[in-house]
Structure formats: structure tokens, C-alpha cells
């Protein structure tokens, strides 16, 4: 079995495991579970997390060139660390418009916008759960409800920082740093995508202002080479 075959066979089960992880983690934090119920839910979380770790290790071991595979699948590593991000793949249907064949650039921009928005929503939700759980161990915490945690995540990911709610524990602050950097990265990606779309719209019907792609250059060079060899071929055919 190769790496691609393994990936196709495990894609749906891992999406279901990601959903189970999200439900179990949400129930543990928002439900305030303790005792046996908390232990059972925690075991579900660990079991689903272990599935993603096993999947990553197996795919890495099946790869032909492990170094190249590792560099090209950093997103897979992120999903292994935070399994709930696997649910972003469910948004794939929103990147396809029936009856239309968009260009490669348009399709890429659509995927970036849809996946970026989905990742942002999931990040806000997971960060809210994480900071609420982290702050629950401190008597000085001011983030004490899920609603307050959602508000804190929203203002943090947008780097607004009202300061009305803030983490007081070391783990909570570490989560805040991660949310801030993630928000900056998402904002940069979305801004660059919008700028690319605006540039394409502005250059439409102005072919002389559009940059040539590598594929177009290869096609042009192939035609030039074909023209250069054609006289010799004709000469051979006529016996000259």
C-alpha cells in the first residue's frame, strides 16, 4: 500500500474522528464535567488524537521521500496537533461551482478564502474552549464563561485587544499568543488573496499588462523549437 492509497481510505474515518474530538472536548469544557464522565470524555479525546498521530506516522513511513513529504505536508502536521482542523476539509464543496471551469488562479483564491474563513471560525471556537479550561484553574480568572471566552478570542484573533477580558494563567497567555499570531497570518493570507483578485480584475481585457506564466513560456519555447526544426524535416522529405 502506498501513501496516497492509505490517505484515501482513512480520509472519511479521520473526519468522523475529528468531529468526535470536537464534541467530546466541547462537552468536557462547557459541560463542566467531573468524575467518571470527565474521565470517559478525556479518553475519547486521547483516542481520537492517537488516531491522527498514527495516521501521520504511517503516511510519513509510506512516503517515497520522507523529507520532501514532510516539507509538503506541514498542514497535515498542524491537523495532527489540532485534529479539529480536519473539519475544514468539509468546506471543499463550497470551492466548486457547478457548471463552471474557473482558472487555476481563481480556483486557488477560492480555496484560500473558504479554507481560511473556516479555519478562522474553528480557531476561535477551539481557542475559546482552551482558554476557558486553562483559566478555570485560577481563582483570579476573569474569563469564566464560554460567552466571555468567545468574545476574548474574537478580539484577540483580530488583534483588537479591548482588554476587558484577558488570561491570567501562563497556559492561557500562551494560547493568547498563538491566537494573535494565527490571526495575523490569516489576515495576511486573505489580504494577499483579495489583492491578487483585484489585480486580475483590473488587468482584464488588458493582455499586455498581464504577466506570463511559466506554462505559457514553455508553450512558446516549444513552438519556437518546432519552427526551428521544420525546414530540416522538409528538406529530408524532398531529398534536398
Q: What is the pLDDT of residues 157-199, one digit of tens each?
A: 887 878 788 899 999 999 999 999 988 888 887 787 777 767 6
Give the separation between CA 91 and CA 94, rounded to whole angstroms.
Answer: 5
Give residue 239's region: left, alpha or beta (phi > 0; psi -120 to 50): left
**pLDDT tens-digit profile of 13-43?**
888 888 898 899 999 888 877 888 889 999 9
- CB count, 10 Å around CB of 50? 12
The reported pLDDT for the residue numbered 129 is: 92
Question: pTM above the 0.85 mark?
Answer: no
For 125-155, b/e burial (b = at least 16 CB within 10 A) is bbbbbbbbbbbeebeebebeeeebbbbbbbb
**Domain chopping of the chain, boundaries:** 1-87, 96-229
Mean pLDDT of the chain: 80
Q: Classify domain 96-229 at the CATH topology level.
A: Helix Hairpins (1.10.287)
Amino acid at each position: 500500500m502506498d501513501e496516497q492509497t492509505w490517505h484515501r481510505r482513512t480520509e472519511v474515518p479521520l473526519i468522523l474522528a475529528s468531529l468526535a474530538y470536537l464534541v467530546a472536548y466541547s462537552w468536557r469544557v462547557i459541560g463542566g464535567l467531573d468524575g467518571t464522565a470527565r474521565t470517559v470524555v478525556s479518553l475519547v479525546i486521547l483516542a481520537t488524537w492517537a488516531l491522527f498521530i498514527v495516521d501521520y506516522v504511517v503516511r510519513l513511513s509510506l512516503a517515497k521521500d520522507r523529507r520532501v513529504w514532510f516539507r509538503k505536508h506541514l498542514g497535515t502536521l498542524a491537523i495532527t496537533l489540532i485534529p479539529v482542523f480536519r473539519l475544514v476539509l468539509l468546506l471543499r464543496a463550497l470551492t466548486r461551482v457547478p457548471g463552471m471551469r474557473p482558472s487555476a488562479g481563481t480556483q486557488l483564491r477560492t480555496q484560500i478564502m473558504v479554507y481560511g474563513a473556516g479555519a478562522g471560525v474553528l480557531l476561535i471556537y477551539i481557542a475559546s474552549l482552551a482558554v476557558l479550561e486553562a483559566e478555570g484553574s485560577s481563582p483570579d480568572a476573569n474569563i469564566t464563561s464560554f460567552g466571555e471566552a468567545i468574545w476574548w478570542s474574537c478580539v484577540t484573533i483580530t488583534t483588537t485587544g479591548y482588554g476587558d477580558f484577558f488570561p491570567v494563567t501562563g497556559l492561557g497567555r500562551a494560547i493568547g499568543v498563538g491566537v494573535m499570531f494565527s490571526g495575523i497570518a490569516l489576515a495576511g493570507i486573505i489580504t494577499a488573496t483579495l489583492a491578487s483578485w483585484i489585480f486580475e480584475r483590473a488587468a482584464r481585457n488588458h493582455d499586455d499588462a498581464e504577466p506570463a506564466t511559466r506554462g505559457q513560456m514553455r508553450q512558446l519555447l516549444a513552438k519556437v523549437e518546432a519552427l526551428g526544426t521544420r525546414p530540416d524535416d522538409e528538406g529530408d522529405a524532398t531529398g534536398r
